[in-house]
Amino acid sequence: MSTSAEASAPRNNEPRNNEPREDEPREAGPPKERKGHRSDLKPVWCPGCGDYGVIAGLGQAIDVLGYESHRIVFVSGICCSSRLPYFFNTYGFHTIHGRAASVALGVKMGNPDMRVILVGGDGDFFSIGTNHFIHTARRNLDVLAICMDNSIYGLTKGQLSPTSGTDFVTGSSPYGSVEPPLNSLALAITAGATFVAQSYSANIKHLKQTLIEAERHPGFSFVNVISPCLTFNKAKSFAYYKKRVSVTEEEARTDRAEALSIVMSRDEQSVLGTFLQIHQPTFDAAQASMAKAAAEDRGVPSMEELIESFA
């Protein structure tokens, strides 16, 4: 361990770049043949699991985006879907159930140069993790959040998820659920996400294109990917969705209320497309501006200067 590598990471205490990053759509890098930075580990998912489609679409999107592997950080919670970071040879963090959004915020604050991709399942995002999802979206943190929605708890072998919906029979709702479903697209729009879309793990072309656009969007981008669980959610299989899924031709709205009225109509639940895209300052940029202004107004103090406020 001797020769130093060209590291683009900031060293300890090296000041962060406080120049507010331009909040403009990112340009694509040169499309490189990298096979999406896949790692040597084989996914442990059941054969036919929808999440294989997600990994494929994501790999292709990353190829197009041309990001280098050391500039990507996957952050996930705990669930079947959250295993995803292992299957890419990028930086990754398989954290704990429900808290990935907050870890992602820390990563992004720690090194705003990283491309942070947050992944998880419907329970991880919208049951135990709802609070962090909402407040991270509200802040418009510049990350891409991908929910692999199978309307069931896969890893714990088939219980009700917030997106399952009324009358749904699972291990924990043997007489059918009495809980109305949570509309994750609507929640993301209300909470403050600035890019909200839905895709489908069996439509890899659409998925790839959606992920590319979502990732290029500066701010909190949420993509709900319908990703069936063959093992524990027989009701919502690929066959079920095949008949129901359609791709919208409409443009993304720039008004939240309009976007909401689209995603709240029941029929729209299986529509693929981008429903909202707005440009608002990102948390990263706003924090950087604030730090810059504070340093300019009050000066960058030495420790000797700082202690004088206690004299």
Partner 1 sequence: MSKRDTRYVCLRIAGEGGEGVISAGELLTQVAARLGMHVATFKTFPSEIRGGMAVYQLRTGPDRVLSQGDYLDILVAFNREGYDRNIADMTSEGVLVHDFEPGDNLPVKRRGGVDYHVPMGKLAREAGSHRAKNMVALGAICELFGFPVEGLTEGVRLKFGKKSEKVVEVNLKAIDLGAEYVRENHEIRHELHFSEGDGHARVVLSGNDAVAFGAVAAGCRFYAGYPITPATEIMEYLARELPRVSGRMVQAEDEIASIAMCIGASFTGQKSMTATSGPGLALMSEALGLASMAEVGLVLVDVQRAGPSTGMPTKAEQGDLNLAIYGAHSTAHRVVIAPVDVEDCFYQTVNAFNIAAKYQIPVIVLSEQSLGFSKASMPRPDFENLDVFEEQYARMPTDGDPWPKVDELTVGEGYPMTPVFPRYLRNDTGISPRSIPGMPGMEFRATGLEHDEFARPRYDPPNRKAMLNKRQAKFEEVRREYGEQVEVIGDDEAEVAITGWGTTAAVIRHAVTRALNDGASVKAIFPKILSPMPDMAMRHHLHGVKRVICCELNDTGQYANIIRHRYGANVHAVLKDRGVPFAPGEITPYIEMAIKAQVRI
Ligand X SMILES: Cc1ncc(C[n+]2csc(CCOP(=O)(O)OP(=O)(O)O)c2C)c(N)n1
Q: Which residues bind its own copies (CB under 8 A)?
A: 127-128, 130-131, 134-135, 138-140, 162, 175-176, 178-180, 182-183, 186-187, 189-192, 256-258, 260-261, 264-265, 280-281, 283, 286-287, 289-290, 293-294
> Does the protein bind ligand SF4 through residue 46 (CB under 6 A)?
yes
Within 10 A of 161 (CB to CB), how many other CB atoms are there? Answer: 30
Enter the tokens of residue 4.
């130093």
- CB 175 to its own copies: min, Å: 5
Rule CB under 6 A: choose which of 23, 36, 38, 49 binds ligand SF4.
Answer: 49
124 binds, among partner 1, Mg ion, ligand X, none (CB under 5 to 8 A by kind): ligand X
Residue 129's CB is within 10 A of a number of other CB atoms, namely 26
Question: In the bound complex, what is the minimum distance in angstroms from residue 156's beta carbon to its own copies?
Answer: 18
Task: Rank residues 41 and 307 by Cβ distance to ligand SF4 and give the closer one.
Answer: 41
Does 80 engage in binding with ligand X (CB under 6 A)? yes
Q: How far is the CB of 298 from partner 1 (least distance, A)?
A: 6
Is residue 18 within 8 A of residue 295, CB to CB? The reply is yes
Q: Is 229 in the site for ligand SF4 (CB under 6 A)?
A: yes
Rule CB under 6 A: say whether 104 interacts with ligand X.
Answer: no
Q: Which residue is nearest to ligand X (CB)?
A: 121
Q: Which of 38, 45, 116, 236 binds ligand SF4 (CB under 6 A)?
A: 45
Contacts to ligand X by CB under 6 A: 78-81, 97, 121-124, 148, 150, 152-156, 161, 229
